[in-house]
Amino acid sequence: MNLIFLGPPGAGKGTIAVRVKQSYHIPHISTGDLFRAHIHNKTEIGTQVQAILDSGELVPDELTIEMVRQRLQEDDSRNGFILDGFPRTIPQAEALEDFAQIDGVLNFELSKESIVKRLSGRRIAKQSGKVYHIHYNPPKVEGKCDESGEPLIQRPDDKPEAIENRLEVYQRQTAPLINYYAEKGLLIVINAEPSADEVFTQVKEKLENL
Ligand code: ADP
Ligand code: AMP
């Protein structure tokens, strides 16, 4: 099962991808996570992309496409994968067609009001990779990861000044992919407003019909 999770930042794509990964035993490939790992490890790519991520702009297509092309060559992607946050532009979607066959594109729909609430309350644990929300999914001990105990941080691009820009970038560059995949008959609409448990139930129902 080769899946794309599409939708605005903060729609819950990563949260649901973790559950789909556990239930269906397919890797969760988040381009945002891959770039953040490069930044954390101070690689050449990390140095190139840090300021872009912090501002909420998109990394150039060529670099992003090459990173995904290489990732999909790894053994764990052979029986399926979840692409989370890729493609984000029409050229990325066109390039993907040259190296992967997609079975379904889940489009997570969420109001702007909810997006802003989710992004501004999101907190992450860098080492464990776990994602929390100060109200909707708080850790057991405030400010600390349940798994690793490390301090939770706010992503620089979840600060108010970057959120507005990311939503504009999404509308301009990524939202056109909704029609692109609808025309190919691949689009599956997910109502991302309810709780993560309810969203996951919807997703499982849709995946059973794939
Ligand atoms: P995305 O991967 O689409 O950017 P995330 O999965 O990181 O989004 O979710 C954004 C924030 O919203 C996180 O803090 C997460 O804990 C929270 N969240 C995710 N899904 C839901 C949901 N269904 N209801 C409430 N909060 C949610
Ligand atoms: P995300 O974790 O999906 O919210 O992505 C965080 C940031 O990584 C984005 O705001 C972009 O700067 C960068 N990024 C992630 N995926 C892509 C992509 N497919 N194309 C370009 N930039 C990306």
133 CA to centre of ligand 1 in angstroms: 7
31 CA to centre of ligand 2 in angstroms: 6
Closest-CA residue, ligand 1 atom 2, reads: 14
> Could you state, in order of their start, the residue ranges of all structural domains in the chain?
2-200
Q: How far apart are CA 85 and CA 56, in angstroms?
A: 13
- Helices of type H across the chain: 13-24, 31-40, 44-55, 61-71, 90-96, 112-121, 160-169, 176-183, 196-208
Give the dihedral sign, CA 191/125/29/35: positive
And the tokens for 30?
């988040």
The domain over range 2-200 is classified in CATH as 3.40.50.300 = yes
Determine the 3-state secondary structure of 104 from DSSP.
strand
Could you tell me if the CB of 7 is within 6 A of ligand 2? Answer: no
Q: Express each pLDDT in 101-151 by its tens digit.
A: 999 999 999 999 999 999 999 999 999 999 999 999 999 999 999 999 999
And the tokens for 141?
């001990």
Q: Express each pLDDT in 55-110 by its tens digit.
A: 999 999 999 999 999 999 999 999 999 999 999 999 999 999 999 999 999 999 99
Can you give the pTM of this predicted structure? 0.97
Q: How far apart are CA 125 and CA 152, in angstroms?
A: 5
